[in-house]
């Protein structure tokens, strides 16, 4: 247990004496702005400090990315592939260190983070191996012209990521950008900045040329805002809250920024009475309480057919009361702390909101006592209705809202009755119903009789307030690249003659 914490503390030791700075053009840049604390969610202690990039530093990071772009975009894709595969190799070599840092500053449990670090490597490998084909387009012949399309990286891009699974999410955006030939300025979340620093250093150790990948720290409203407003940043890939997505769209409007948004969710898991009940319970519990409920695709609304509602909710409550909440470094822990006191206060506030709206707290509902860490008991709200705030708002904690439904039409109506539309989960043994309901769900992704199992070639993203654009497979390259059509005349058509 403590050896993993020691590993994490050793990994961040080089950045503890002074506030964590930035990584610009393959070099460390010292922090200059007013420092702010980075907390350890498991203990509540101050881990270190971080600070905003100054305007000059942000400009220097963008300038480095701009200067490196012509070289990187014209590097043979086979060479990009080699370097990015080497990044993947080094992530695997450092997987324990990375996972330990995620436990330390994001408070995520070891049992999930050890896999998340490896998934970060897979993200690099997946897009690295597709780099050689990224520019390939289509042949669209017409009578008088042969048209063909080709793709080229759009330019330097900004990548802005949240704190919930910081390392994995960073690789999910940065790997395809680099494989496509873009250069990157990354701004990780201010509450969990350390694993991003490991990533940028690993990438340079792997042979990434200077300026191709830069990392700046700081707050969203300052450093993040400047990055999204910078005229030399051609596109912004953002993962975070829906309201922040709106702000970024406004900030990027003057420079016509292309944006890709992976935003919030209030995802339903719909359980019909003909479902495999045991598996449905396993999946419902896993999809909301793993990763401390701080997961965009969490199934935070449990919609259960009224015929089995009481019995199903009682079974879930039993499991929730049994969850092992504790030290994120303990491999036995299933639920760790929330990220920050501000987020802890937000999650806590929904207990009164639930009571006032008339829901029943069937499990949890209070902070874990006797700890300085930001631990909140896994919570289940029962007898809720769709109109309640606990059914509409993204709480982003280990908190599940259970709502009964009558029939298929009612299930679809309730599943879709939120502003979000990221993921949907559906449990039934009726194939026709599975098809009808999954097609009717307003969501970017639906899993039938399954929890969220990612397959990297498939599209990932949401509809409504959950996002714009898709990642995964070739969808990522579509965002990071511009498509060009080239028309070659066969010499068979007549050009109109004017002014003769």
Q: Return the residue of 394, 428, 469, 470 that touches ligand NAD, per CB under 6 A.
A: 394
The Cα–Cα gap between 212 and 66 comes to: 9
Identified binder of ligand NAD from the candidate list 244, 300, 333, 476, rule CB under 6 A: 244
Residue showing tokens 């990027």: 252
User: Contacting ligand NAD (CB under 6 A), which of 97, 197, 225, 230?
Assistant: 225
* Sign of the CA dihedral running 246, 250, 251, 257: positive
As a whole number of angstroms, the distance between CA 421 and CA 207 comes to 40
Which C-beta is closer to ligand NAD: that of 240 or that of 337? 240
Residue 28: is it exposed, middle or buried by C-beta count within 10 angstroms (0-12/13-18/19+)?
Answer: middle
User: Does residue 241 interact with ligand NAD by CB under 6 A?
Assistant: yes
Closer to ligand NAD by Cβ: residue 264 or 404: 264
176 near ligand NAD (CB under 6 A): no
DSSP, collapsed to helix, strand or coil, labels residue 172 as helix
Least distance (Å) between residue 270 CB and ligand NAD: 20
Active site residues: 262
Closest contact distance (angstroms) between CB of 173 and ligand NAD is 10
Q: How far is the CB of 137 from ligand NAD (least distance, A)?
A: 28
Based on the shown chain and the rule CB under 6 A, indicate whether residue 105 belongs to the binding site for ligand NAD: no
Q: What are the phi and psi torsion angles at 448 (to 5°)?
A: -105, 125
Is there binding between residue 468 and ligand NAD (CB under 6 A)?
A: no
Per CB under 6 A, 153 contacts ligand NAD: no
Paired residues of 23 in beta bridges: 28, 215
Residue closest to ligand NAD (Cβ): 220
User: Which x/- pattern, by CB under 6 A, does the window 185-204 give for ligand NAD?
Assistant: --x-xx--------------
Residue 396 in the binding site for ligand NAD (CB under 6 A):
yes
Instruction: Pick the stretch among 84-92, 247-255, 305-313, 323-331 that binds ligand NAD (CB under 6 A).
Output: 247-255
- Matching residue, tokens 């309480």: 289
Contacts of 258 (CB under 8 A, 6+ apart): 154, 234, 235, 236, 479
Can you name the residues that pair with 413 across neighbouring β-strands?
none
Residues constituting the chain: 500
β-strand partners of 150: 484
The token pair at 470 is 């898709």
Residues making contact with ligand NAD (CB under 6 A): 160-164, 169, 187, 189-190, 219-221, 224-225, 228, 239-241, 244, 247-248, 251, 262-265, 296, 394, 396, 422, 462, 467
């Amino acid at each position: 247990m403590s050896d993993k914490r020691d590993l994490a503390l050793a990994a961040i030791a080089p950045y503890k004496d002074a506030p964590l700075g930035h990584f610009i053009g393959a070099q460390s840049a010292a922090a200059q702005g007013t420092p702010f604390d980075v907390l350890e969610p498991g203990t509540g202690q101050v881990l270190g400090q971080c600070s905003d990039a100054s305007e000059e530093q942000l400009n220097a990071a963008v300038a480095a990315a701009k200067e490196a772009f012509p070289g990187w975009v014209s590097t043979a894709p086979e060479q990009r592939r080699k370097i990015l595969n080497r990044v993947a190799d080094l992530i695997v070599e450092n997987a324990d260190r990375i996972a330990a840092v995620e436990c330390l500053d994001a408070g995520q449990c070891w049992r999930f983070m050890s896999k998340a670090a490896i998934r970060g490597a897979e993200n690099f490998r997946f897009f690295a191996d597709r780099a050689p084909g990224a520019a390939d387009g289509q042949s669209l012949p017409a009578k008088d012209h042969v048209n063909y399309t080709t793709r080229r990286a759009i330019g330097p891009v900004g990548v802005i990521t949240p704190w919930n699974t910081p390392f994995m999410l960073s690789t999910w955006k940065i790997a395809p950008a680099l494989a496509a030939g873009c250069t990157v300025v990354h701004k990780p979340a201010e509450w969990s900045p350390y694993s991003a620093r490991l990533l940028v250093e690993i990438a340079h150790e792997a042979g990434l040329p200077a300026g191709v990948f830069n990392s700046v720290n700081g707050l969203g409203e300052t450093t993040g805002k400047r990055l999204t407003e910078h005229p030399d940043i051609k596109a912004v890939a953002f993962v975070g809250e829906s309201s922040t997505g709106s702000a970024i769209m406004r900030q990027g409007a003057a420079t016509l920024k292309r944006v890709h948004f992976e935003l919030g969710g209030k995802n339903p898991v719909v359980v019909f009475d003909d479902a495999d009940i045991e598996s449905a319970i396993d999946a419902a519990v896993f999809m909301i309480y793993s990763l401390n409920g701080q997961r965009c695709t969490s199934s935070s609304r449990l919609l259960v057919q009224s015929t089995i509602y009481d019995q199903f909710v009682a079974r879930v409550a039993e499991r929730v009361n049994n969850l092992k909440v504790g030290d994120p470094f303990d491999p036995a822990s299933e639920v760790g702390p929330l990220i920050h006191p501000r987020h802890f206060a937000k999650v806590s506030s929904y207990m009164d909101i639930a009571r006032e709206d008339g829901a029943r707290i069937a499990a949890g509902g209070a902070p874990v006592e006797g700890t300085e860490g930001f631990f909140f008991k896994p919570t289940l709200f029962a007898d809720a209705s769709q109109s309640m705030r606990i059914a509409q708002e993204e709480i982003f904690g280990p908190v599940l809202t259970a709502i009964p439904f009558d029939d298929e039409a009612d299930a679809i109506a309730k599943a879709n009755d939120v502003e979000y539309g990221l993921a949907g989960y559906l449990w039934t043994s009726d194939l026709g119903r599975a098809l009808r309901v999954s097609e009717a769900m307003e969501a970017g992704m639906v899993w039938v009789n399954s929890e969220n199992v990612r397959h990297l070639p498939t599209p990932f993203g949401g509809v409504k307030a959950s996002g714009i654009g898709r990642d995964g497979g070739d969808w990522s390259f579509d965002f990071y690249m511009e498509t060009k059509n080239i028309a070659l005349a066969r010499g068979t058509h007549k050009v109109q003659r004017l002014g003769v």
